[in-house]
Each structure stands twice: as C-alpha cells, then as structure tokens.
A and B are shown apart, each in its own frame.
Chain A
Amino acid sequence: MNLRKPIEALGQRAIDGIEGLGEMGILTARSLGLSVVPPFRPRQFLLAMEDVGVGSLFIVMLTGVFAGAVFSLQSVAAFRMFAAESLVGTTVALTLSRELGPVLTGLMVAGRSGSAMATTLGTMRVTEQVDAMEVMAVDPVHYLVTPRVVATVLMMPLLNTLFVFVGMVGAFAVAVGMMKVDPGMFINNIKVIVNPMDLVKGCIKAAVFGLAIAGIGCHKGFYASGGARGVGEATTSAVVLSSVAILVLNYFLTTIMFT
C-alpha cells in the first residue's frame, strides 16, 4: 500500500506534465488561430507590443552592450595568441547573430514580459475576471492571450536585431577603442565571413522563442489557481520553464538551421 503511493505520485506528475504541455499547445494554437478572426482589437495588440517590445528594450540593449563588450574582450585576448585579432569582429558577429542574440534576448523577455503575463493573467483568473469575461460572452483567449502571443512573436525579432546591433557596437568599442584592433579589418572580416542569412536565422529563432515565452507565460497565468500564492507559483514556473524551453529549443533550432 505504502509503495504504491510514490509510484502513483510519480505517474501522476508525468501525466500532469504531459497534460500541461498539451494544454499549453492547444492554448497557443488557439490564440494564434484566433488572431485572424475578428474582432481584431488593435488597441490590445498595441498595448501588448508596447509591454513586450518597448518595455524590454532598455534591459535588452543593456545586456547586449555588455555581452558584446565582454565577448570581444575575451576574444581579443584569445586571438592575440595567434595574432589573429582581426577575426574578433567576425567571431562576435557570428556568435551574437546566431546564438547569443536570440538566447539572451529570449531570457530577458522571459524574465520581464513572460513573468508579467503569468502574473496578470493569473491575477485575473484568481479574481474571477476571466470568468466574468466568459459570462459577458467575450472569449478570454481571444481577448487576453492572442494579443500577447502575437505581440511577443513579432517583437522578439526586433529586440534580437537591436541586441545584436548594440552588441556589435560594444564589441567594436572594446576591440578598437581599448584593445587597438584594426577597425578596417574588424568590419571587413565581418563582411567576408559572416553571412546576412545568419542574422535572418537568428531572428527566426527569436520569433520561435517569443512564441514559447508567450505560450508558457499565458498558459501558466491562464490556468493559475489557489489565490495569490498560486499566482506567485505560476509566475515562477513560467520564468523557469520558458528559460529552459529557450535553451532546449535553441539546440534543436541550431541543429535544423545551421548544420
């Protein structure tokens, strides 16, 4: 009798996990499907875009500058051993546009906007505003989830682009300003070796991450239960789950796109 319980609990957790994943997938798919169904509610879209895009802009750019700068610093030190400092720009540009840009932008947005989504939706759920909406015959998924998912998917590539840009500026400043790398070779080697498709692929990654962040954040909030405590738990698990999801997805996306 005693032995059955932990095994049962383990099985239950697995079932819950798979169930949650399925719920999340359904919710995300539904919200995307509803984005082409009127009413379109442009105001809701704009507000969500402002929240995700403009709200995260500062922190994303700050992260970008320092990520680029520190990466440049380390690369110069390493490449100087082979007298190949002129390849620093290439290295930083490749890394930022392919991997670091999308991943770090995703983590930042997950931490800031994903958590906000879970909190907002969770609070609305536990204060029964979502139920009220249903009573008023307004589809809460259409009204609350769709704008957020679409806005995140649209904003992530933009944020990623800006991240890479300021990251390159930071890297250039450190390499050329501090470490005296030839600025001409810095830019020229980027031209020769980095392909613009790298940037495009990075933006595609960022969009996928945006979908994951918004899907997880909205799902955790939308199905939150148990009062204020439940909202807190939903927020925490939204951030953790989306961070892990970003890293895991990144591996598979890299495998698909760059190999």
Chain B
Amino acid sequence: MKTFITPFKVGLLLVIALLAFAYMFGTMSSSVFRDGQGYRVYALLDDATGLSPQSRVMMAGISVGEVEAIALEGQRARVTVRLRRDIELREGIEERTADGQTVWLNGAVLSKKSASLLGDYYLELSPGIDGRVLVDGDRIRNVSMPLSVDDLLVQMNTLAASLQRISGDVEQITGEMRNVFGDPETTSNLLEIIEHVNGMTASLNRITNDNQDSLRTIFRNVEQVSEDVRAFTGRSARSVESILEDVSVVTTELRHIMGASSADVQQGIGTMTGTMASLQLALDNLNYSLANVQEITDRMVDGEGTIGRLLTDDTIAMQTERVVTSAADLIEPIARMQTWIELRSEYGLGERSFKNYVQLSLRPNPNRFYILELVDDPRGSTETTLRTTVSTDPERPGIVYEEVTETRNRFKVSVLLGQRWALARNNQFYLGGRFGIIESSGGIGANAWAFNDALELRMDLFDFGQARRGRLRTYGLLSGRGFFPERSLLSNLFLQGGVDDVLNAGSRNFFVGAGIQFNDRDLRSIVMVAPTPSF
C-alpha cells in the first residue's frame, strides 16, 4: 500500500504545483505577442525619462506592444517599440512649412503619456491615416511629449507669484472700501439715498412716459412766453429809461428855477422854454411808450401772442389742470401702495421639523394684495417616476422596472392674487379669497380677518396629486396688533397654529409657529432703531 501511496502523493504535489506555476505564469505574463514576434519601429524622443524596456505601448487604451530598447542617438533617445503584426501604422505625408521645417501630415504619432503623478510613463500610439504603411525598422516621424511635473511646477510658481500680487491689490482695494463703507453712518446714508433716488426715478419715469405729449406742449409754450416777454421788456425798458432820464433833467431844472435869484428869472424863463421843450419831448416819449403798452395790452386782450393766449384762452389752464390731475392719479396709488413683509416659522408637531416662510405682499389698496412667498418645506416635493433598466449583465434580469419615489427637499414658491371685502361698516370684519400658485403648485385659498386684522384665519387648498387628495391647510394668526400700541415692535409679532394636510390622514400634521409682519413704514422705524450691518 505504502509503495503505491508515496509516489501518488509526490506525483499529485508535482501536478498541483505545476498547474499553479502555469496559472501564475499566465497571470503575470503581459506579453501581447501571440502571433509570432511582431515588428519593430522606432521614434526619436527628446526625453525618455520614465520609460524602460517592456514599458507599455497602448493604442486607444489597449496594449498593442512594448518598448524593446532605448538608446541614445545624437542628443535624443531612440526608442524602439515592438508592435503586434495586426497594428498598421502610416508614415504620413511629408510637407514643408513656411519656416522650413518638415512635418508629416496625418501620420502615426507616438506620445509619451504620464501613467501617474509619480513619474510613470507609457507610450500612446495613434496610427495615422495617410502615407505609406510602416514596416519593420521604419521610423515613426511624429512624437509628442507631455508636460512634465517639473514644467508644471515652474508654471505654477509663476502663476502663484502673479496671484499673490493680485491678491495684494485686492486686499488694498477692499481695505480702502472698508474704510469708506465701514462707517455705519455712511452706510445708512447711502441706503437712504438709494431708496429716495429709486422712488424718484420710478415716479418721474412713469409721469414723463404717460404725459410726454402734454409736457412737450407745455415746454414749447413756456419757451414762446419767455421769448415774448424778453422782446416786450427789452423795448419798454429803453423807453422807460429815457423817460426817467428826462424827468431827472426836468426836476434839476426846476430846482434851479426855484433856487435861482429873481435876477436870473429872465434867464430862467429862457431856460424854462428849453425845459418845456425837454418836457414836451419827455411827454412825447412817454406817450409813445404808453401807446406801445396800449398796443400790447390790446393785443393781449384780443388773445394775440402767447401771453394773450395764456390770459384769454382757458384751454391751457384746463390742460395743465388735467396733467396735474392725471399725474396725481398716477402717483397716488404708488404712494398709497404698501409693502408688507412677513417672516414666519412653524414647527410641525408630527414631523418634528421647522418650516420657514418669507412673504412679500404688495397692497395697492387696503383690500387687494399680491403675494410672493418663498417656502423652505422640510416635507419637500415628492416625485414618482417609472424607470426601466435594460441590462446585458448575465447575472441580472434583462429588464428591470422600478418605480422610483423621490422626495427632494427644496424651496417652494407661492405667487398669489387676493382681494378682501368688508363685512361690516366699521371695517372690523373682512372676508377674502386668493388664488394662484401655492407652494409651487396651483391652489386657492380663503381668508377671514377680525378685530382690526388682529386675528386672521387662512385656509389653503393646493398640491393636488394623482394618488392623494389635495393638501388642505387651515391655520390662524393672532397678531400683537390688537394688544400692543401701534408701531411698537411687539405689535408686529404674531403667533400661529393650525393643521396641515387635513384631508390625508397619513400625513396630517399639527403645527404651531410664530412670525413677524411689518410694512415699509414699520421697516423704516425698525431700521432707525436697529443697528445697521457694516462691512
């Protein structure tokens, strides 16, 4: 028995070991040369660092050969590669460029490629499409070298230096800006100025746009008026001046007469004749002036000339009045338009998570509102898609149908138009409705206000899904407006509570919350007392 078992055991060991050897030899062997020995071509590289005999030669990521030898030829490395017989390379077409260099168009290219950052390289071969087919011993004309890590580092050094310079400049600029804007007073002034300018330009824009024609007429008229006035005053002024001169001469003469001795009377009378003549002249001048004035006023009365029209024709007055009225009509709603901001946050008792709202509500009059609201909803939005996967993996079924329900946490938007009506004359109770987009889906809602807006009830119905009933949310807001003096901060705060998704038992959720509501006037008063953020 022993005589049989011993040789058997030893033989078995031998067989197993040889099998293991053969298997590992195959595993470790990377030779691509199954069909004979392949053929050799060479290329001249400027730098063969990182390459060695048996380095890979790849084409399209597949090993097609190996480096057989590397030798120095002149100042360049002559790299001989051995390639599989079925790899066909083209030499390319020789062409001379303008600067006297020879290029081989569309020929095979041997590129040195970096296999890792640590300095391993392999050769990538691109076969080329033109020219004669390369055979054993031929040269691959085109080579390309990679940017080495050293080159990269040099470039990065340069880059880093300029970056440093730039960041220094930026720092300096921001420093100066900080000095300018860091002052809280400057900031608040700037904000105020910007606000004013904004309001002014908006109003002006609208007025000029709407009344362009009227304004043009007005300006033209005003121009004419000023022209006429200039002509009139120019002419009259000359006459009046000469009258006054004459009067001055007359009074001087009179003083002379009064003050002169009787001996001089004779002479005085002589002079008086002259004086009378002067007076006559002055009166003539005055007459002429008065005649002018008479003529002008006559023409004005007749409605001639611009001033005449201004005085006699009431069209301009009416037009002006109309312009002013329509401008007032335009500006009034803008002035009356109130901007309300509402920030509220609610805590879902069932979901144990917070939901936050930022609401901007524009009210052109107390009973109409346009709402834009951003909602951060932890419940997210749920999407169900049918995904079909076709697989060629034999270990898996060929086609897999999956119903994928995906819930994404995201911002939702509400855009609503609302109107309310007073129920009682004293404006204590209101009923209202709103519609539009609620939390990124179509929806409608109803509101009720009581006690001078101190209590508000809201009810929204939205998010109608295929498999579920719509989401009905009912909640009430109790504002501090009813309890605290107006314009105090507390009067802007409110508490809220309600039920979300009433119709779907599975996701029904009670919540409580709080928030703050203020309009632009409140905002102004708040901003005045609150510290302004500075840079």
Residue positions of A touching B, CB distance < 8 A: 43, 46-47, 49-50, 53-54, 57, 84, 93, 97, 155, 157-159, 161-162, 164-165, 168, 187, 190-192, 194-196, 198-199, 203
Q: How far is the CB of A128 from chain B (nearest CB, A)?
A: 27
State the CA gap A47–B21 with chains docked (Å).
Answer: 24
Whether A50 contacts B9 by the Cβ 8 Å rule is: yes
Whether B10 contacts A53 by the Cβ 8 Å rule is: yes
Given the interface contacts A158-B13, A158-B17, A162-B20, does A47 sit within 8 Å of B6 by beta carbon? Answer: yes
With A50-B9, A97-B28 given, name 7 new contacts (CB 8 A): A46-B6, A46-B10, A162-B16, A164-B20, A190-B27, A191-B30, A194-B28
State the CA gap A195–B56 with chains docked (Å).
Answer: 13
State the CA gap A258–B56 with chains docked (Å).
Answer: 21
Residues of A within 8 A of B63 (CB): 192
State the CA gap A50–B63 with chains docked (Å).
Answer: 44
Whether A192 contacts B56 by the Cβ 8 Å rule is: yes
Shortest Cβ distance from A169 into B: residue? B20
**Does B25 lie at the interface of the complex (its beta carbon under 8 Å from any beta carbon of A)?**
yes
Q: How far is the CB of B468 from chain A (nearest CB, A)?
A: 41
Task: Return the CB mask of B10-50 against A: 1 if under 8 Å, else 0.
Answer: 10011011101101110111100000000000000000000
Q: List 15 A-B contacts (CB under 8 A).
A: A46-B7, A49-B13, A50-B9, A54-B13, A57-B13, A84-B116, A97-B28, A157-B17, A161-B17, A164-B20, A165-B23, A187-B27, A191-B27, A191-B29, A199-B21
State the CA gap A203–B25 with chains docked (Å).
Answer: 12
Shortest Cβ distance from B12 into A: residue? A54
Whether A161 contacts B20 by the Cβ 8 Å rule is: yes
Whether A199 contacts B10 by the Cβ 8 Å rule is: no
Q: How far is the CB of B482 from chain A (nearest CB, A)?
A: 65
Q: How far is the CB of B52 from chain A (nearest CB, A)?
A: 12
Q: How far is the CB of A54 from chain B (nearest CB, A)?
A: 5
Shortest Cβ distance from B115 into A: residue? A192
Residues of B within 8 A of A165 (CB): 20, 23-24
Whether A195 contacts B13 by the Cβ 8 Å rule is: no
Report, as a range, how many residues of chain B touch the other chain.
Answer: 20 to 34
Whether B29 contacts A196 by the Cβ 8 Å rule is: yes
Whether B14 contacts A199 by the Cβ 8 Å rule is: no
State the CA gap A93–B7 with chains docked (Å).
Answer: 31
State the CA gap A164–B25 with chains docked (Å).
Answer: 11
Residue positions of B touching A, CB distance < 8 A: 3, 6-7, 9-10, 13-14, 16-18, 20-21, 23-25, 27-30, 54, 56, 63, 116
> Interface on chain A toward B: helix, strand, loop, or mixed SS?
helix
Residues of B within 8 A of A53 (CB): 10, 13
CB-contact partner of A192 in B6, B9, B30, under 8 A = B30
State the CA gap A47–B23 with chains docked (Å).
Answer: 28
Residues of A within 8 A of B14 (CB): 158
Residues of B within 8 A of A192 (CB): 30, 56, 63
State the CA gap A168–B16 with chains docked (Å).
Answer: 15
State the CA gap A97–B29 with chains docked (Å).
Answer: 13
Given the interface contacts A161-B20, A162-B17, A162-B20, does A50 sit within 8 Å of B10 by beta carbon? Answer: yes
Shortest Cβ distance from B29 into A: residue? A196
Residues of A within 8 A of B7 (CB): 46
Residues of B within 8 A of A158 (CB): 13-14, 17-18
Residues of A within 8 A of B20 (CB): 161-162, 164-165
CB-contact partner of A43 in B3, B9, B13, B56, under 8 A = B3
Whether A93 contacts B10 by the Cβ 8 Å rule is: no
Whether B24 contacts A161 by the Cβ 8 Å rule is: yes
Q: How far is the CB of A183 from chain B (nearest CB, A)?
A: 13
State the CA gap A191–B27 with chains docked (Å).
Answer: 6
Residues of A within 8 A of B9 (CB): 50, 54
Q: How far is the CB of A147 from chain B (nearest CB, A)?
A: 12
State the CA gap A252–B516 with chains docked (Å).
Answer: 85
Residues of A within 8 A of B10 (CB): 46, 49-50, 53-54
Residues of B within 8 A of A49 (CB): 10, 13
Residues of B within 8 A of A194 (CB): 28
State the CA gap A32–B373 with chains docked (Å).
Answer: 97
Residues of A within 8 A of B28 (CB): 93, 97, 190-191, 194-196, 198-199
State the CA gap A190–B29 with chains docked (Å).
Answer: 8
State the CA gap A46–B54 with chains docked (Å).
Answer: 42
State the CA gap A93–B54 with chains docked (Å).
Answer: 18
Residues of A within 8 A of B27 (CB): 93, 187, 190-191
